[in-house]
Amino acid sequence: MAKVLEVKDLATYFFTADGVVKAVDGISYHVDEGESIAIVGESGCGKSVSALSVMRLVASPPGRTVHGEVVFEGQDILKLSESEMRHVRGNRIGMVFQEPMTSLNPVLSIGYQLTESLMLHLGMTRVDARERAGELLNLVGIPDAERRLKDYPHQFSGGMRQRVMIALALSCNPKIIIADEPTTALDVTIQAQVLEVMKSLADEFGTALIMITHNLGVVARYAQRVIVMYAGKIIESGSAKQIYGDPRHPYTLGLLKSVPRLDESRKEKLDPIEGLPPLLINLPAACSFAPRCKYAIDKCRSEVPQLEMATDGHVSACFRSKELAQLAKAHA
Ligand SMILES: Nc1ncnc2c1ncn2[C@@H]1O[C@H](COP(=O)(O)OP(=O)(O)O)[C@@H](O)[C@H]1O
Ligand SMILES: [Mg+2]
């Protein structure tokens, strides 16, 4: 399977008066053509900054990508000129953000925005673009699509606006879409509907998908692989089946217990992880999760665990990875 995106040892820091915030600290992952992956972790773990780093949209100063490569279609896009990068952003990599009102222009109709995007990115004529705009709105499941082209963003509900954003992201026929918590503000049923639309269109168009979320419950059935981030690092990754069925990091286990799952009837009660993720300044050379971990031992507080293979295609950065299933059982 060809890789559409390969992120290698990417690090982005913020240089602030209080110190260096290591928001993303050496992460590596890849996405295959047409594959859907999820990046999960609590708020403040570096998910958005990692996505913005890939798009080269981190505010600088104070932010700077200090090392790493982002190989997209065989090219390190961190080395492109700003105008080449604009082309990648508009045409090759689409984005959907949490708050569509900030990405949609409030004073232009949806039809105008879609049409302009299609003309600009795909070189369509206005007539063709207008027709395609209607088709796209229809594809993302907006009722009465043709007629709604003349409506403005505020005339759509939150869920419908998110669908418009997906249509806009798809309008340039990108190789990959990065969706950063696109449905977080919506209720769970609408979240599932929006994700469903995004996933089925991505499959239909052969678009790869990176879904960023703090909710390991909702992404379950839409991602083939899951990457778990904590304190700026990847602490576990594997196929969705491995992550949900055989988690190898106490943090992942905690995330699984703290969210309602769509793919499971409610048997166990929710059990949120106590405490908060650390500030990413002056982190000690230790496991960042140790202060919140039920299973931490001395070694966890004095050494940084590296990602190691648990099973084929499944890695975790925990000294107690192998015993975790037993420990969790004993603890339950
Ligand atoms: N402009 C900034 N200046 C300083 N720190 C920042 C800035 N933007 C983000 N950060 C820090 O980077 C870390 C990761 O943030 P973010 O990627 O937004 O987390 P997530 O998306 O996982 O919630 C946080 O600790 C946040 O405070
Ligand atoms: Mg975020």
Q: Note the pLDDT tens digit of each residue in 66-89.
A: 999 999 998 999 999 999 998 898
Domain count, the chain: 1
**What is the pLDDT confidence band of residue 116, given thresholds at 50, 70 and 90?**
very high
Question: How many whole angstroms separate alpha carbon 81 and alpha carbon 182?
Answer: 29
Q: Is residue 233 part of a domain?
A: yes
Residue 107 pLDDT > 60: yes
Question: How many whole angstroms separate alpha carbon 287 and alpha carbon 298?
Answer: 10
Cα–ligand 2 centroid distance for 276 (angstroms): 15
Ligand 1 atom with the shortest distance to the CA of 52: 17
List strand residue ranges (DSSP E) for the chain, in order: 3-16, 19-32, 36-40, 63-72, 75-76, 93-96, 176-180, 208-213, 225-230, 233-239, 308-311, 314-316
Range of the domain at 88: 3-100+175-331
Which residues have CB under 6 Å of ligand 1?
14, 16, 21, 23, 41, 43-49, 59, 62-63, 280
Q: Is residue 156 part of a domain?
A: no
Residue 265 pLDDT > 80: no
Q: Is residue 131 part of a domain?
A: no
pLDDT of the residue at 181? 87
Question: How many whole angstroms separate alpha carbon 307 and alpha carbon 249?
Answer: 10
Portion of the chain with pLDDT greater than 90, in percent: 70
**What is the pLDDT confidence band of residue 262, given thresholds at 50, 70 and 90?**
low
Cα–ligand 1 centroid distance for 210 (angstroms): 19
Question: How many whole angstroms separate alpha carbon 10 and alpha carbon 27?
Answer: 5
pLDDT of the residue at 170? 87
- What would the mean pLDDT of 168-196 be, rounded to a whole number? 85
**What is the pLDDT confidence band of residue 173, given thresholds at 50, 70 and 90?**
confident
Residue 197 pLDDT > 90: no
Cα–ligand 2 centroid distance for 58 (angstroms): 12
Question: How many whole angstroms separate alpha carbon 25 and alpha carbon 13?
Answer: 8
Q: Is residue 116 part of a domain?
A: no
pTM: 0.93
**What is the pLDDT confidence band of residue 100, given thresholds at 50, 70 and 90?**
low
Q: Is residue 240 part of a domain?
A: yes
Dihedral sign computed on CA atoms, order 46, 66, 211, 164? positive
CATH of the domain at 304: 3.40.50.300
pLDDT of the residue at 261? 65
Cα–ligand 2 centroid distance for 127 (angstroms): 38
Could you give the count of Cα atoms lying within 13 Å of 61 in the half-sphere of its Cβ?
6
Ligand 1 atom with the shortest distance to the CA of 51: 17
State the pairing for strand pair 93-96/176-180. parallel
Question: How many whole angstroms separate alpha carbon 152 and alpha carbon 327?
Answer: 54
Helices 126-139, 110-122: axis angle to 10 degrees equals 120
Which tens digits make up the pLDDT trace of 4-25? 999 999 999 999 999 999 999 9
